[in-house]
């Protein structure tokens, strides 16, 4: 069995207001400021386990956000973020892999200035804590990812993939259209893969 998670480190994004001011100045190049890898927020997974039933695959893990300060500050400044989780399963074939099933789940993150708590929600699930890192850990642990299968898996080799991104979601439509080339990620994305046999 092969487990692999690949964080793609990128420099933290500037604040939306900063981007707007740059646009008003005109004629300037948009670029994130220099930053060391140690200052870049990165998503990491640990304690990954998989449960397979006849028509359901359940993935449990622990989620952590390394170097969370830039993310915490943006949330406290009023930004809203989305943690997008895409879970997919494919059958490994000699010439071309075939997808068996896939699903996407969105967790919303924000800061409540009245209670001074961070809020994480997905559907009817909602978690609130004063500190961001424990909130991510608890919310993720209490809501395992589930993938519905079309039927029992046939004998063979399979690859399970999980892709996580954390992005700003409250971008004005006119800005998103103008800066279509810009990435709104606030942390390095993460891709985790696991190969197994039936």
The reported pTM is 0.73
Closest CA to 154 of 88, 58, 89: 89
What is the end-to-end Cα distance of the chain in Å, rounded? Answer: 11
pLDDT 10s digits, 63-91: 999 999 999 999 999 999 999 999 999 99
Question: In the numeric block, which tokens belong to residue 55?
Answer: 């028509």
Residues 6+ positions from 60 with CB-CB distance below 8 Å:
47, 48, 49, 50, 51, 141, 144
CA 120 to chain centre: 13
Residues 6+ positions from 17 with CB-CB distance below 8 Å:
none
186, 6 in Cβ contact below 8 A? no
Phi-psi region of 67 (alpha: psi -120 to 50; beta: other; left: phi over 0): left
189, 37 in Cβ contact below 8 A? no
Helix (H, G, I), strand (E, B), or coil: what is residue 4?
Answer: strand
pLDDT at residue 6, as a whole number: 54
> How far apart are alpha carbons 91 and 152 in whole angstroms?
13
pLDDT at residue 1, as a whole number: 53
pLDDT at residue 15, as a whole number: 42
192, 111 in Cβ contact below 8 A? no
Question: In the numeric block, which tokens belong to residue 116?
Answer: 């001074």
pLDDT at residue 142, as a whole number: 83
> How far apart are alpha carbons 57 and 25 in whole angstroms?
51
Residues of the chain with pLDDT under 70: 1-38, 170-184
Closest CA to 192 of 167, 160, 169, 166: 160
């Amino acid at each position: 069995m092969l487990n692999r998670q690949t964080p793609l480190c990128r420099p933290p994004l500037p604040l939306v207001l900063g981007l707007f001011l740059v646009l008003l100045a005109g004629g300037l190049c948009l670029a994130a400021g220099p930053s060391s890898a140690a200052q870049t927020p990165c998503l990491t997974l640990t304690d990954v386990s998989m449960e397979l039933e006849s028509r359901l695959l359940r993935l449990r893990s622990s989620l952590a956000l390394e170097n969370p300060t830039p993310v915490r500050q943006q949330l406290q400044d009023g930004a809203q973020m989305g943690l997008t989780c895409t879970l997919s399963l494919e059958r490994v074939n000699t010439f071309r892999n075939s997808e068996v099933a896939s699903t996407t789940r969105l967790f919303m993150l924000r800061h409540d200035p009245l209670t001074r708590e961070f809020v994480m929600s997905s559907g009817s699930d909602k978690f609130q804590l004063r500190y961001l890192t424990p909130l991510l850990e608890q919310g993720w642990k209490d809501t395992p990812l589930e993938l519905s299968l079309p039927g029992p898996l046939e004998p063979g080799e399979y690859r399970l993939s999980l892709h996580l991104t954390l992005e700003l979601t409250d971008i004005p439509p006119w800005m998103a259209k103008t800066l279509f080339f810009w990435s709104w990620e606030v942390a390095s994305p993460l891709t985790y893969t696991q190969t197994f046999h039936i």
